[in-house]
Amino acid sequence: MTSQPLNLAVIVGSVREGRFGPVVARWIADRATRHGRFTVDLIDLAETPLPLELPAVPPALEPNPPRTAALQQLADRLAAADAVVVVTPDYNRSFPASLKAAIDWHYTQWQAKPIGFVGYSGASGGLLAIEQLRQVFNELQAHTVRDYVSFPRYYLLFGPDGTLLDPEGPEAAAKGMLDQLDWWGSVLRDARRDRPLTAS
């Protein structure tokens, strides 16, 4: 493995008005920067129009389907990532449609890359969304790491300035997840370079 820092994409999955996702995303992005092994690209899906209509030929069969300029920029940023953290709430026991659209518009951009999750919601802390996302990313030949960060009743955990009131537990969970993303990200980056994954 090389010692070169990994490119980490942190994705804000919710685009809902009044969403809390950017607060959580900034928190994990800061943790990743402090970790020392990552350069961080914070990707807010609210800044990219995501059509729900997919191209006639799926991205799994046509890696470069026709995309708007904004969608192409998103594709390029995801392609440049060595690892990904998805920040998601759960809506109706699942994850946001905006996140599913972003996933479905891409394919090779996820392959052979590690994915970590930071969830937040009222009771479950985003775990319902995270468990479904593991299945989705597995289909795309990505590797979801075991550890995650969860914020149940997030509105009680963060202060008005976006800092955690009791950071010890979440910071320990974040370090565990980031350590795993570092290991898997380094191994898979080398593997993509030396032995590219081919379609089966």
Confidence of residue 3 (pLDDT cuts 50, 70, 90): confident
Residue 125 contacts residue 133 (beta carbons within 8 Å) = no
Q: Which helix (H) or strand (E) holds 128?
A: helix 127-139
Provide the 3-class DSSP secondary structure of residue 83. Answer: strand
- Written as one string, the DSSP assignment of 4-31 is SPEEEEEEE----TT-SHHHHHHHHHHH
CA–CA separation, 53 and 101 (whole Å): 9
pTM of the model: 0.95
Residue 153 contacts residue 122 (beta carbons within 8 Å) = yes
- Tell the residue number behind the tokens 């994954």, with chain if given: 197
Instruction: Give the pLDDT score at 159.
Output: 96
Provide the 3-class DSSP secondary structure of residue 116. Answer: strand
Question: How do residues 47-82 score in pLDDT, each as one tens digit?
Answer: 998 988 888 888 989 888 888 999 999 999 999 999
CATH class of 6-194: alpha beta
- Sign of the CA dihedral running 118, 160, 15, 108: negative
Domain boundaries, the chain: 6-194
One-letter identity of residue 193: R
CA–CA separation, 134 and 28 (whole Å): 19
Question: How do residues 89-146 score in pLDDT, each as one tens digit?
Answer: 999 999 999 999 999 999 999 999 999 999 999 999 999 999 999 999 999 999 999 9
